[in-house]
Amino acid sequence: MPVVRFDSVVKEYSSQGAAVRALDDVSLSVEPGEFVSLVGRSGCGKTTLLNLAGAMDFPTSGSVLVDGQSTTGLADAQLTSIRREKVGFVFQFFQLLPTLTAAENVELPLQLAGQAKVRQTALERLRLVEMESFAGRYPHQLSGGQMQRVAIARAIVHSPRILLADEPIGNLDSTSAEVVMTLLRRIADETQTAILMATHSLEAAAITDTIVTLRDGRIAERRAVA
Ligand SMILES: Nc1ncnc2c1ncn2[C@@H]1O[C@H](COP(=O)(O)OP(=O)(O)O)[C@@H](O)[C@H]1O
Ligand SMILES: [Mg+2]
């Protein structure tokens, strides 16, 4: 069963009274362990697609299934629980909390979900991204690439079914970008987490399994990487 499935999805926003169609008849599915890159120029709908896949929002028409469950018609509390249990997010600007250490940032989602004794899990995830020795550092004491590795550890701390990454290397130098891409590739391969990543980098897209090109809210091309 696909981890994420879109069927004929339309997403419209209203902007100053006019409807903006951000996604137009998008059908897509992502399998466990599949690493998909979403490419296309700014404004083509990448972030909108990630938000729908992550139950941050729901479609205007069509359906979005996350791990088999439709997000349409769900109450906020139900959308929140899908996000907490099934989805991890990584952002271009990391979004770590500056007043918390790396380990505290990573364990926060588990604490918010009401779990106790979460430090061990946080340290295991930091080990996976090779940041365990930086567990006690604050974000301002880390490089961009190191902050993104901590953010990835946080995004997978609850073993989500899908990891959504919105331009995760958009703010990194090429060496850090390569480290982050290698990590994401390893997470998909070793944990069977599906990854959906928006990127402007064709080099990064080349190490994913599938490249989906969006144009004006529509899928222009979906191709398997050789
Ligand atoms: N909250 C919103 N309200 C109104 N329009 C929006 C909103 N979010 C996105 N859009 C519009 O939807 C389209 C797709 O945006 P987005 O998904 O952010 O594209 P991308 O991430 O590829 O740059 C754009 O035309 C954008 O202006
Ligand atoms: Mg975007």
Report the chain's mean pLDDT, rounded to a whole number. Answer: 96
Nearest-ligand number for the alpha carbon of 41:
1
Q: What does the DSSP assignment read for the chain? A: --SEEEEEEEEEEEETTEEEEEEEEEEEEE-TT-EEEEE-STTSSHHHHHHHHTTSS--SEEEEEETTEE-TT--HHHHHHHHHHHEEEE-TT----TTS-HHHHHHHHHHHTT-S--HHHHHHHHHHTT-GGGTT--GGGS-HHHHHHHHHHHHTTT--SEEEEESTTTTS-HHHHHHHHHHHHHHHHHH--EEEEE-S-HHHHTTSSEEEEEETTEEEEEEE--
- What residues does each domain of the chain span? 4-97+156-224
- From 9, 13, 51, 213, give the residue whose CB has the most ligand 1 atoms within 8 Å, as the site to mutate: 13
Cα 127 to middle of ligand 1, angstroms: 36
User: pLDDT band for position 226 (50/70/90)?
Assistant: confident
- State which CATH number among 3.40.50.620, 3.30.70.20, 3.40.50.300, 3.40.190.10 fits the domain covering 4-97+156-224: 3.40.50.300
**Ligand 1 pocket, Cβ-based, cut-off 6 angstroms:** 13, 15, 20, 22, 42-48
Give the pLDDT mean for 191-199.
97
* Model pLDDT for residues 10-47, shown as the tens digit of each residue: 999 998 889 999 999 999 999 999 999 999 999 999 99
The confidence score (pLDDT) of residue 174 equals 96
Give the pLDDT mean for 1-15.
96
Residue of the CA atom closest to atom 2 of ligand 1: 13
